């Protein structure tokens, strides 16, 4: 006797909870953004979006988890520039290829990085800082969030473009890098706005410029480094979303469209602004172009300073 075929060989997506991999620790800015997106996606997808933190190796461990996951639409991840761009130069044996192993969804949001200095330096703008650095080569230190990160590379680019010498002191994260300036261990840094603006407002740090292509909507009174005479030092801390390569295109499109809607909600915009972040919500193609621009910008800096990381 002939049996009727099954109505469908595959349930409509999504039919089970999704995993959202964060390649950094709980409480980090990418983690905060991931949780905003997870909260927004859960009701519209009709399935839970479970955030999993997998920190380590500059974001490589969590990003590799996404790259090696089944491309079935049930795993995606948040990311920053490092795991997609500069880490391909910094690490000799990256366990994934961000160009081939990942599908790009969108850059969801960004926040400006800010050049801050200790008030004791007695400078009020970038030209006066450069003048002091030129008069005292190798005397002053800058802190970073870790060797090879954007906060490190931006300051190395500043030194190169201004013809100055500044000593790098790496720290584990933005809060420690900021605290080092307050303690007098270092005198300056380029750090995410959320890490430093409270201290700037309290008069404990002085903000001189933003490391962005144009003035930031969240810090409109600060000039860019380009306006200050130092071009192509763009260290904005963008955050985006990726999925395993081969994830069905309709899933990528749905995730993209829903994340864009979330980023444009008034409540989300307000929450982002409170953390000195602003929505971007661009296309996968625009995200890929940004990654390539980051590679082109930072590769000469990394090679000129012989910066290398072990896995």
Q: Do domains 18-110+236-304 and 113-210 have the same CATH topology?
A: yes
Instruction: Tell me the pLDDT of the chain (311 aa) as tens digits.
Output: 444 343 333 469 999 999 999 999 888 889 999 999 999 999 999 999 999 999 988 899 999 999 999 999 999 999 999 999 999 999 988 999 999 999 999 999 999 999 999 999 999 999 999 999 999 999 999 999 888 889 999 999 999 999 999 999 999 888 899 999 999 999 999 999 999 999 999 999 999 999 998 999 999 999 999 998 898 898 888 999 999 999 999 999 999 999 999 999 999 999 999 999 999 999 999 999 999 999 999 999 999 988 887 65
Cα–Cα distance for residue pair 182/166, rounded to 1 Å: 18
Q: Looking at the domain that runs over 18-110+236-304, which CATH code has it been given?
A: 3.40.190.150
DSSP state of 226: T
Handedness of CA 22, 309, 293, 297 (dihedral sign): positive
- Look at residue 292 in the predicted model and tell me its pLDDT: 95
Reduced to 3 states (helix: H, G, I; strand: E, B; else coil), residue 104 is strand
- CB 265: neighbour CB atoms within 10 A? 14
In this prediction, residue 310 carries a pLDDT of: 62
- Nearest residue to 171 (alpha-carbon basis) of 186, 159, 156: 186
* Helices (H) then strands (E): counts for the chain: 11, 11
Query: Any idea where the domains of the chain sit in the sequence?
Result: 18-110+236-304, 113-210
CATH superfamily of 113-210: Periplasmic binding protein-like II (3.40.190.10)
| Residue 1, pLDDT score | 40
Global pTM?
0.87
Cα–Cα distance measured from residue 123 to residue 34, given in angstroms and rounded to the nearest whole number:
38
Residue 2: predicted pLDDT:
40
The Cα 63–Cα 245 span in angstroms is: 12
Chain mean position to CA 255: 20
């Amino acid at each position: 006797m002939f049996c009727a075929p099954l109505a469908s060989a595959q349930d409509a997506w999504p039919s089970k909870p999704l995993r959202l991999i964060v390649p950094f620790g709980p409480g980090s800015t990418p983690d905060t953004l991931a949780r905003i997106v997870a909260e927004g996606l859960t009701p519209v997808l009709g399935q839970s979006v479970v955030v999993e933190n997998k920190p380590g190796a500059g974001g490589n461990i969590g990003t590799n988890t996404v790259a090696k996951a089944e491309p079935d639409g049930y795993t995606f991840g948040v990311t920053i520039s490092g795991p997609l761009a500069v880490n391909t130069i910094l690490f000799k044996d990256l366990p994934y290829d961000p160009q081939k192993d990942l599908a790009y969804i969108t850059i969801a949001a960004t926040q400006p990085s800010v050049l801050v200095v200790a008030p004791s330096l007695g400078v009020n703008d970038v030209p006066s800082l450069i003048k002091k650095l030129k008069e005292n080569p190798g005397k002053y230190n800058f802190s970073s969030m870790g060797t090879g990160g954007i906060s490190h590379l931006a300051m190395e680019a500043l030194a190169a473009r201004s013809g100055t010498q500044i000593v790098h002191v790496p720290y584990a994260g933005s809060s420690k890098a900021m605290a080092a300036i307050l303690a007098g261990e270092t005198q300056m840094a380029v750090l995410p706005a959320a890490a430093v603006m409270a201290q700037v407002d309290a008069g404990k740090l002085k903000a001189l410029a933003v490391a962005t292509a144009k003035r930031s909507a969240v810090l409109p009174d600060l000039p860019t480094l380009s306006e200050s005479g130092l071009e192509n030092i763009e260290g904005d801390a963008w955050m985006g979303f990726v999925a395993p390569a081969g994830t069905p295109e309709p899933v990528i499109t749905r995730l993209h469209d829903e994340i864009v809607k979330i980023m444009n909600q008034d409540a989300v915009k307000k929450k982002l602004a409170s953390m000195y972040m602003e929505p971007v919500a661009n296309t996968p193609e625009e995200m890929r172009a940004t990654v390539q621009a980051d590679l082109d910008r930072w590769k000469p800096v990394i090679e000129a300073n012989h910066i290398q990381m072990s896995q």
